[in-house]
Amino acid sequence: MRVLVTGGAGYIGAHTVRLLVDRGDEVVVLDNLGSGQADRIRDVPFVRMDLAAAPVSEIEAVLRDNAIDAVIHFAAHKQVGESVAKPALYYADNVGAVAKLLMAMENAGVDKLVFSSSAAVYGNASGAISEAALAQPISPYGATKLVGEQIITAAAEAWPLRAASLRYFNVAGAGSAELADTVAFNLIPICLDRIADNQPPVIFGDDYDTADGTCVRDYVHVVDVAEAHLAVLDALPHDPGNIILNVGTGIGTSVREIVDALIEVSGTRLLADVQPRRAGDPAAIVGDINAITAFTGWTARFGVEDIVNSAWDARQSQSASASASAPW
């Protein structure tokens, strides 16, 4: 299969690119390198382009010139806080990119798409969440993901598009050091940055109605998420439509458990700093993954220990490389 991966130089995208290449697919990466890193994709054919800004004709040319069979679409802004501060940017770029990509795909006759969505579409929902749960995002980021799903669904009704939208929960860990998450916007990289600076990792709220009082989330290894994309791509049905699927483990882990595991693996003597709750944080969110398992047979292979250890190992490897290349 010839696959175009938009945002393929990003954290999850690069892991997916690596798996596609390893199994023998021909891959082209399209990325504007706003947050992606070109060295993650090695010698994979690369097109530097901003989907939201590019004319549809240029996107169509990439599809035609590379005889693309399917698209996996990751390219998007993804910072919840930034989306609150810059909502127009998020709607213009995240939604605009989906719309232009779909027009280009229709023109070029490319009818297979896997879309990177998010559990952020569920907003303040709590408990075990299935795809049937009400989608009611509370951030512009989550709203743009939901609108993206809606555009894809409408396109699948208008022309024979075969698509799936994957709603990830908390993606973490690393398949290798060069593919690690280097942007500290999620719990594990934030904690690792603080530990590296000899500052205590922070827990926001320890008075929730959970076993240890801290928030519970569904943490899923990035390699599992990448494997889910391949499984869904391979399983797309012949009939048009947009299948909505959760990607997680179905297992909840508390923030305290994650922080304690990071403290242990790092060998630090720092203790967690408990701060007041943040507004809008639900007590517990866990993904119901029965649908994706039934559809593809996929289930997560890695657990929290694998996530924490791989993130720490990647951080150590990156630190060692930086030290080795630093001037005297």
- Domain harbouring 263, CATH code: 3.90.25.10
For residue 180, what pLDDT band results from cuts at 50, 70 and 90?
confident
Is residue 128 packed enough to be buried (19+ CB in 10 Å), middle (13-18) or exposed (0-12)? middle
For residue 100, what pLDDT band results from cuts at 50, 70 and 90?
very high
Q: Please check whether residue 208 lies inside any domain of the structure.
A: yes
213 shares its domain with 223: no
Which of 247, 262, 284 is where one domain is finished? 247
Q: How many CA atoms lie within 13 A of 79 on its CB side?
A: 11
150 shares its domain with 107: yes
Residue 125 has what pLDDT? 87
Number of residues that this document lists for the chain: 328
State how far the Cα of 14 lies from the Cα of 222, in Å rounded to an integer. 10
210 shares its domain with 142: no
211 shares its domain with 114: no
255 shares its domain with 196: yes
Instruction: Kindly state the average pLDDT of the residues 145-159.
Output: 98
Q: Please check whether residue 88 lies inside any domain of the structure.
A: yes
Q: Please check whether residue 327 lies inside any domain of the structure.
A: no
Structural element, H or E, at residue 221: strand 219-221
Residue 317 has what pLDDT? 81
Residue 257 has what pLDDT? 97
Give the pLDDT confidence of 293-326 residue by residue, as tens digits.
999 999 999 999 999 999 999 988 876 655 444 4
pLDDT of residue 167 exceeding 60, the answer is yes
Which of 228, 247, 266 is where one domain is finished? 247
Residue 326 has what pLDDT? 40
Range of the domain at 302: 177-218+250-321
Q: Percent of the chain, pLDDT > 90?
A: 85
Q: Which of 48-52, 125-129, 194-198, 321-325 has the highest mean pLDDT?
A: 48-52
Say if strands 162-168 and 26-31 run parallel, antiparallel, or are unpaired. Answer: unpaired
122 shares its domain with 141: yes
165 shares its domain with 190: no
Q: Please check whether residue 326 lies inside any domain of the structure.
A: no
**Hey, what are 97's tokens?**
């990119």
pLDDT of residue 120 exceeding 60, the answer is yes
Q: Please check whether residue 35 lies inside any domain of the structure.
A: yes
Q: Please check whether residue 309 lies inside any domain of the structure.
A: yes
303 shares its domain with 236: no
Q: How many CA atoms lie within 13 A of 142 on its CB side?
A: 18
Secondary structure of residue 109 in the 3-state scheme: coil
Residue 328 has what pLDDT? 41
Which of 204, 228, 247 is where one domain is finished? 247
Q: How many CA atoms lie within 13 A of 75 on its CB side?
A: 30
For residue 327, what pLDDT band results from cuts at 50, 70 and 90?
very low
pLDDT of residue 241 exceeding 90, the answer is yes
39 shares its domain with 118: yes
Residue 321 has what pLDDT? 58
Q: How many domains does the chain have?
A: 2
Residue 79 has what pLDDT? 86
69 shares its domain with 151: yes
Give the pLDDT confidence of 19-52 residue by residue, as tens digits.
999 999 999 999 999 989 999 998 999 999 999 9
**Hey, what are 75's tokens?**
């390219």
**Hey, what are 319's tokens?**
């630190």
Other beta carbons less than 10 A from residue 279's beta carbon: 6
Q: Please check whether residue 328 lies inside any domain of the structure.
A: no
Mean pLDDT of the chain: 93
> Does residue 141 carry a catalytic annotation?
yes
Q: Percent of the chain, pLDDT > 70?
A: 97
- Domain harbouring 66, CATH code: 3.40.50.720
State how far the Cα of 29 lies from the Cα of 44, in Å rounded to an integer. 7
87 shares its domain with 209: no
184 shares its domain with 109: no
Catalytic residue among 11, 90, 141, 168: 141
